[in-house]
Structure 1
């Protein structure tokens, strides 16, 4: 029956790792790169506020790097630069 679980994408061995945020100027940055073809795409989200006032901006960049750690480090730098350049307007849609 294990092959059926794998076929439909559910496995007891699969556990989504919880991403630890980095606080920057009142925002929380979650670096969560995406595995893609043996490399990792720079991706993550920026949040502000709590509860009903929680605002989230999620983004995926075109940058692809050889390791998850490198992709997450670059995401953090890009997110900090984005916050510096746009501030609260990050969440305008």
Structure 2
């Protein structure tokens, strides 16, 4: 039976699956922004990923980010995602949202 499973997996893309987002965590407030830690599961690890939102003139502007950093623990990935988002906010300041684009990747 295992033999047939291996053959079927060869024709269905080798059993590889697209990366999956980890379960959502509560957003964190920082410098007038909301930080959403959204690590992406890749195999047995999590890739650092998240989004930063800010309300500007009644419109919610979103900046998403994805980095190469990988973690074995979901909690570690979330913690580092929040720190990375804080760093992005601190380094970019007002220019992070100055273009007025509703959504973009940083």
* Alpha-carbon contact 2:28-2:35 (below 8 Å) kept: yes
- Can you list the C-alpha shifts for 1:20-60, whole angstroms capped at 9, x where unaligned? 11000100000010110200000010000079511000111
Q: Name the one with the larger helix percent.
A: 1
Q: 1:6 matched to which residue of 2?
A: none
Number of aligned pairs? 78
Greater percentage in strand: 2
Unaligned runs of 5+ in 2: 1-21, 102-106
CA shift for structure 1 position 87 = 1.4
Q: Output aligned runs, 1:78-93, within 5 Å.
A: 78-91=84-97, 92=99
Match of 1:61 among 41, 60, 67: 67
For normalisation by structure 2, the TM-score amounts to: 0.66
Change (3 A) 1:51 1:18: farther
Could you tell me which of 23, 39, 44 is aligned with 2:29? 23
Unaligned runs of 5+ residues in structure 1 are: 1-15
Of 70-79 and 83-92, more deviation after overlay is shown by 83-92
What is the CA–CA distance in structure 2 between the aligned matches of 1:21 and 1:51, rounded to whole Å? 21
User: What is the root-mean-square deviation in Å for CA atoms of aligned residues?
Assistant: 2.1
Q: If you compute each CA radius of gyration, which structure gives the higher value, 1 or 2?
A: 2
* Contact kept? 2:48, 2:77, Cα under 8 Å: yes
